[in-house]
Amino acid sequence: MESSDAAAGPLIEAGAEIVMAPRAGPLPEGELRRCLEGCDAVIASSDPFTRAVLAASPQLRLIARWGVGVDNIDLGAATERGVAVANAPGLTTEAVADYAFTMMLALARCLCPARELMAAGGWGEFRGVDVWRKTLGIVGFGAIGRAVTRRAAGFSMRILAYDPRVSPDEVAAAGARPVSLRELLAEADFITLHAALTPDTVGLIDAAALRAMKPTAYLINAARGRLVDEAALLRALQEGWIAGAALDVYAEEPLPPAHPLRRLPGCLALPHNAFNTVETAAAVNGAVVDNILAVMRGERPPGLVNTDLVGVHSSVEHR
């Protein structure tokens, strides 16, 4: 959100002073700590809100996450320090599902190398593969995974889903066949990741998983970068274990300029933009503002994540 955004109006009217970060996040810890000096609330990207950052920000009372994921926030430390953490659940679902499906289509039909050839003044053919009636494997069957399922149904795809937190009956009711990860890896023509990042899912797609995929299969990740072992993926693409990959998220963001995934043939590397539509931004901005205004009034923010926080009192100053 920018101070000029229409969504900022209610905050200014409520007496809040808006201080802008010097650049877009995520910011490294040292820079983040400097930006938080004197702040009562922060609208957070995927910046690292570690225990050390929170300890250096004694005035902070609210981390309003712009989006859903809070794996970048030490929730235990925030709760101990009386800092409310709130997010905006459900509002990025359709945009991310659209983007993930777009990435799959772009991979299948070689759209990016074709565009690059045209931009260079060339002309040529690129033989892609069908998406119609292929097998789609969805890893993580929450709201976004189900939204992708709805889109895949329009392409008459056979849809497999792996999510140990969702009952088989619930998966089947949403239009997918519940399977083990091993079965999904072995059978899917396209695999799209929509799992939450937890200690159990870090590195879920490792060398063994990539070797278990078909050599003609494609991997799409618009969830969290650390779900994938990037070194293993790099090797898989270089040695032809799989046909290609599309990535919108990375273990380190921004992805370093010299990182080989940026320019590797067969890898569609994109700058973490799956959520970014006009409509989604407006909706999330509104939810973030509602969270901040609630805390300013001494109320429980509607998107509160650390629900075991004892009391949410107004400590956001009206300046």
Catalytic sites, residue numbers: 224, 253, 272
State how far the alpha carbon of 112 is from the alpha carbons of 108, 119, 212, 216, 276, in Å: 10, 11, 26, 18, 20
H helices within the chain, ranges in order?
Answer: 9-13, 29-35, 51-55, 75-80, 93-108, 111-119, 143-153, 168-173, 181-187, 207-212, 230-239, 278-296
- For the chain, first and last CA: distance in Å? 20
Distance CA 91, CA 93 (A): 6
Q: For residues 83-96, b (16+ Cβ closer than 10 Å) or e, as one string?
A: bbbbbbeebbbbbb
CA nearest to 166, candidates 183, 188, 144: 144
Q: Which H or E element spans position 42?
A: strand 41-44
For residue 311, what are the contacts with CB-CB under 8 A and spacing of at least 6?
82
Distance CA 256, CA 26 (A): 13
H helices within 120-262, ranges in order?
Answer: 143-153, 168-173, 181-187, 207-212, 230-239
Q: Which residues pair with 228 in a beta bridge?
A: 205
Distance CA 138, CA 161 (A): 5
Give the 3-state secondary structure of residue 101.
helix
| Joined tokens for residue 86 | 């709130």
State how far the alpha carbon of 176 is from the alpha carbons of 183, 188, 214, 306, in Å: 14, 13, 20, 32
How crowded is the C-beta side of 193, counted as CA atoms within 13 Å? Answer: 27
